[in-house]
Structure 1
Amino acid sequence: MSESTQVRPTTGTAQAKERAVQAANELHSRTGADAFDAVVVLGSGWADAADALGSVEAELDMTELPGFVAPTAAGHYSTLRSILVGDKRAAVFCGRTHLYEKHDPMRIVHAVRTGVAAGASVVVLTGAAGSLRTDFSVGQPIVVRDHINLTSTSPLSGPDFVDLTEAYSPRLRTAAQEVDPSLAEGVYASLLGPQFQTPAELSMLRVAGADLVGRSFALETIAAVEMGAEVLGLSVVSNDAMSAVFEPFDSLKALDVVRQRAQHLGRLLSATLQRS
């Protein structure tokens, strides 16, 4: 076989997409859904928001699909639902895995890739984050305008030169703000974790232009954009990150902040998806 006709090894990104297609096929089979319009990933404390999204058509454990493992972080669950949101069908993951759980980047974005492979053109990412701004209040939902990826990794391999200029869809951000005109926007700094940031690190992030700090969003967004999907990011301010300069951070208290607002957040997501 000549060099020009040799079959080259599949890149890591392509292999990951193949696994996502396998998972998407199984998702179709188990839910009876021909296609999905959106994939929603619910972050820390958001799981109960699924109850307010719409009509549940099917429910399963995400680990029943190829390539998935159960989340281990508090406030994350392995439940996966097919939900009718108005006339849109959403694959809703009630939890996510993180890099600090010792998974590789391909595993972190598997839910997003599976949803897009199942037909979704819209990816909704949710989570909780510490605020670096004094005008953001604890419990306030923030639309993510952009991110700073400080995880030192990517879900892409090979020459996948993806343009992230408008990684977070202006159209979807507008749709969310039409539902709730009070929604502010911010830049999300994605860090590896699991440890929280030192006061010096928080000060650096603020100088760099970050408004929120957490341990998700960036890799999933990169994967979604690379597959041609639009992304909406919505993060709830779970704590004043800068207060860590003066007092210890209480992660369970921060989780409760989001849980207490889950129904409201679910209604916000539902109305936004119906406009998408």
Structure 2
Amino acid sequence: MASAIAQSAAKLKAVFGEAPAIAVVLGSGWSGASEQLQNPQRLSYADLPGWPLPKVEGHVNEVVVGTTAGGQRVAMLRGRAHTYESGDCTGMAAPIRSLKAWGVQVLLSTNASGSLRQHQPPGSLMLIADHINAPQRSPLVGLSGSDRFCDMSTAYDLELRQAAKALAQEVDQRLCEGVYCWALGPQFETPAEIRMFAAWGADAVGMSTVPDTILARHAGLRVMGLALITNMAAGLSAEALTHELTLREAKESGERASKFLGQLLDRLMKLSSLQ
């Protein structure tokens, strides 16, 4: 793994030059953000040792580096490995550790999620304040020494969240803040499971992000998470849950979400802590 990470970091630098401060993992509904980048350069995951080739619909499997409308340089990952694809929750280990070795400082993880709260209907954006690892699976299992232990008490960076909330007020973007619950999938949750997650304090549920966050925090990256709400969770509406429903709602709301993401990246890049 160490050799693959070093090779991938070297390849990223050879193709794109110095690393931008922020890298974004684009989940379902967020791909439009990469299409807004100016002067984009692209690199396939297949050209990066150790990187996965997810087969989930809507994931392209390439790194795109370009500049936002505000002139800020950023890297975007168009595709992520999900644990439900293979049962392995370490699928994003090489990409995330390669980003760190390249020089990235912040991982901004986006996803499509189901809402557990009526005040957060489909089309909403939720800033992730914390998460619940419902399967209790960890991509750090198998590491040795004290280095395997990772503090998750401040998993989602407070300064970055405050910047997002301030921006949302300025641009009149409704932005909820809540707790994201990771469910393994690929089956959707039952109504009983959703009631349990809500009682635990979860506000949204999805099948990604949490392993990425654990890996990023372990690597020393700052983390921010944004969820695009695509449906009400099981038992909270009469609509049957399907992947096609998720993709349809993500497509309908994705343009607005991607616009806010671009504005957010411009704002975050101006933070003194990222200079």
Selected match of 2:187 from 173, 188, 195: 195
CA distance in 2, matches of 1:56, 1:106: 32
* Contact 1:38–1:88 under 8 Å retained in 2: no
1:274 aligns to 2:254 (yes or no): no
Q: Deviations over 1:114-143 (max 9, x none)?
A: 222211111100000110111101011110
* Contact 1:176–1:268 under 8 Å retained in 2: no
1:90 aligns to 2:74 (yes or no): yes
CA distance in 2, matches of 1:139, 1:109: 30
- Amino acid of the structure 2 residue aligned with 1:189: C
Alignment gaps of 5+ in structure 1: 1-14
CA distance in 2, matches of 1:128, 1:216: 9
* Contact 1:70–1:97 under 8 Å retained in 2: yes
Superposition deviation, residue 18 in structure 1: 4.6
1:79 corresponds to: 62
1:10 corresponds to: none
Alignment gaps of 5+ in structure 2: 269-275
* Contact 2:51–2:92 under 8 Å retained in 1: no
Selected match of 2:163 from 171, 175, 182: 175
Q: Which has the larger radius of gyration?
A: 1
Aligned length: 259
Deviating more after overlay: 164-173 vs 81-90: 81-90
Selected match of 1:47 from 18, 27, 31: 31
1:215 corresponds to: 207
CA distance in 2, matches of 1:134, 1:242: 13
CA distance in 2, matches of 1:87, 1:112: 24
Superposition TM-score, scaled by structure 2 size? 0.88
Superposition deviation, residue 39 in structure 1: 1.1
* Contact 2:6–2:101 under 8 Å retained in 1: yes
2:273 corresponds to: none
Superposition deviation, residue 152 in structure 1: 2.9
Superposition TM-score, scaled by structure 1 size? 0.87
Pairing of 1:49-68 with structure 2 (within 5 A)? 49-52=33-36, 54-68=37-51
Selected match of 2:91 from 89, 107, 110: 107
Runs of 4+ in 1 over 4 A off after TM superposition: 244-247
Selected match of 2:4 from 19, 24, 29: 19
2:118 corresponds to: 134
CA distance in 2, matches of 1:122, 1:211: 24
- SS of alignment partner, residue 135 of structure 1: coil
Selected match of 1:204 from 196, 204, 212: 196
Superposition deviation, residue 167 in structure 1: 0.4
CA distance in 2, matches of 1:18, 1:272: 34
Superposition deviation, residue 106 in structure 1: 2.5
Superposition deviation, residue 87 in structure 1: 5.0
Deviating more after overlay: 182-191 vs 239-248: 239-248
CA distance in 2, matches of 1:178, 1:272: 10
1:185 aligns to 2:177 (yes or no): yes
- Amino acid of the structure 2 residue aligned with 1:20: I
CA distance in 1, matches of 2:153, 2:38: 35
Between the two proteins, what is the percent identity of the paired residues? Answer: 34
1:230 corresponds to: 222
Q: Deviations over 1:76-129 (max 9, x none)?
A: 111220122345432211111101110623323332222222111111000001
Selected match of 1:155 from 128, 139, 144: 139
- SS of alignment partner, residue 187 of structure 1: strand
Superposition deviation, residue 260 in structure 1: 2.1
CA distance in 2, matches of 1:63, 1:267: 29
1:256 aligns to 2:240 (yes or no): no
Q: Sort the Cα spacing of 1:242 and 1:107 in 2 relative to 1 into closer, same or farther, 3 A.
A: closer
